[in-house]
Amino acid sequence: MNIAVCVKEVPSATAARRLDPSTHRLDRSGDSELNPFDVHGLEEAIRIRESGQQVDEIVAVCMGPETAHRPLQKALALGADRAVLLSDPLLAGSDISGTAYALSAVLEAQNADLVILGQQAADADCYVMAAAVADHLRRPLVTQVASLEVADGKVLTIIRAISTGQGDFTLTTVFNKK
């Protein structure tokens, strides 16, 4: 099984946040870090490997400027086997749709059986990227995962955290290789 984990470089929690007056985008020139919510995704991929499942590769995928090496270095330090940076000046300031399209193209090339995204981006507190990426990949989406177990690299047993408690359900062969 191959697992891809999307990661994002976000301004450090202690960095002052300001807009660039010329582009009206978030100024990302200060201290940055790996999105804390993505750390959970990486930890889950590593936990799956350490549970004895056959995980051939964990790849961290990031879209950002050429300087966005910090989140990828952190992902490798945490246990990812490989890191991919999608960087193009034309992608700067992309909206959710453009970002999801670009990420899905890179993810498709990774031949991942399972794609994990963190709950949200700490810089925007927005979580629709996973749905948009899943739509582009034409794959199922499960959000608010509280627990995930893999059996034989094919069956995921997922417990979702929902507002009324927890709901259990099983998805079989969630991500099929083409």
CATH of the domain at 136: 3.40.50.620
Answer whether residue 35 shows pLDDT above 90: no
Confidence of residue 100 (pLDDT cuts 50, 70, 90): very high
> How many domains are contained in the chain?
1
39-80 per-position pLDDT tens digit? 999 999 999 999 988 899 999 999 988 888 888 999 999 999
Answer whether residue 2 shows pLDDT above 90: yes
Range of the domain at 87: 2-15+28-141
Alpha-helical (H) ranges within the chain are: 36-50, 70-78, 96-109, 129-137
Strands ordered across the beta sheet of 145-151: 145-151, 155-162, 165-172
Confidence of residue 27 (pLDDT cuts 50, 70, 90): low
Distance, CA of 114 to CA of 102 (rounded, Å): 18
For residue 42, give both structure tokens.
């990486």
Q: Are 83 and 74 spatial neighbours (Cβ–Cβ below 8 Å)?
A: no
pTM: 0.82
Answer whether residue 176 shows pLDDT above 50: no
Answer whether residue 18 shows pLDDT above 70: no
CA distances from 130 to 41, 91, 96, 144 (A): 12, 18, 10, 11
Confidence of residue 103 (pLDDT cuts 50, 70, 90): very high
Distance, CA of 59 to CA of 80 (rounded, Å): 6
Confidence of residue 145 (pLDDT cuts 50, 70, 90): confident
Q: What is the pLDDT of residue 115?
A: 94
Q: What is the pLDDT of residue 163?
A: 65
Q: Using DSSP, how many helices (H) and how many strands (E) does the chain show?
A: 4, 9
Is residue 168 in a domain?
Answer: no
Is residue 165 in a domain?
Answer: no
Distance, CA of 17 to CA of 57 (rounded, Å): 36
